[in-house]
Amino acid sequence: MAFCTAINCMDGRVQLPVINYLMERFGVDYVDSVTEPGPVKILAEQAAPALLESIFNRVSISTDKHSSKSIAICAHADCAGNPVDDQTQKQQLIDAVKTLQDKCSGVEIIKLWIDENWDVQELP
Ligand SMILES: [Zn+2]
């Protein structure tokens, strides 16, 4: 049984696209999901310590107990929890990875953008 980890928005429209993409991308059986409204905002701005801690706690269960070696941080078009333009969200993705890298060593972290057609794009 192999797991990876998704830090995804709570939005129901992005759950299955992200899970399907990640099962294929990492060849895993299961995707552990850590969801918040607009998680890239929380990780990029680091303005809500309790929320950050909650995300890190849940990610560490996935990496420690399920031996997940790969984390995807996700943002999407038309996000109600993070109503800023797409370019701002993509910058938040970059900043969110930096925040995660400080906490999660030895795991691969990728950035996913889910567009207005609910297609998943992996950003470089
Ligand atoms: Zn959202």
pLDDT, tens only, 73-117: 999 999 999 999 999 999 999 999 999 998 888 999 999 999 999
Q: Which of the 8 DSSP states describes residue 37?
A: S
pLDDT at 52: 97
CA of 53 to the centre of ligand 1 (A): 20
Protein residues within 5 Å, CB atom, of ion ligand 1: 9, 11, 79, 81
Distance CA 97, CA 119 (A): 21
pLDDT band at 70 (very low <50, low <70, confident <90, very high): very high
Task: Report strand pairing: 120-123 vs 108-114.
Answer: antiparallel
CATH superfamily of 3-123: Carbonic anhydrase (3.40.1050.10)
Angstrom distance (rounded) from CA 66 to CA 86: 32
How far apart are the CA of 82 and the centre of ligand 1, in A? 6
What per-residue confidence (pLDDT) applies to 124? 94
Q: What value does the mean pLDDT take over residues 59-81? A: 98
Sheet bearing 30-36, strands edge to edge = 30-36, 3-9, 70-76, 108-114, 120-123
- Cα–Cα distance measured from residue 22 to residue 111, given in angstroms and rounded to the nearest whole number: 11
pLDDT reported for residue 104: 86
19 Cα to the center of ligand 1, angstroms: 15
Q: Kindly list the domain boundaries of the chain, sorted by start residue.
A: 3-123
Between the CA of 101 and the centroid of ligand 1 the distance, in Å, is 22
> Six-digit token pair at 28?
């895993």
Three-state DSSP at 30 gives strand
Give the pLDDT confidence of 3-60 residue by residue, as tens digits.
999 999 999 999 999 999 999 999 999 999 999 999 999 999 999 999 999 999 999 9
Distance 63 CA to ligand 1 centre (A): 24
* Cα dihedral: 2, 118, 36, 8 (round 10): 30
Q: Note the pLDDT of residue 55.
A: 98
Report helix, strand and coil shares of the chain as percent, to nearest 5: 45, 25, 30
Residue with tokens 């890239």: 40
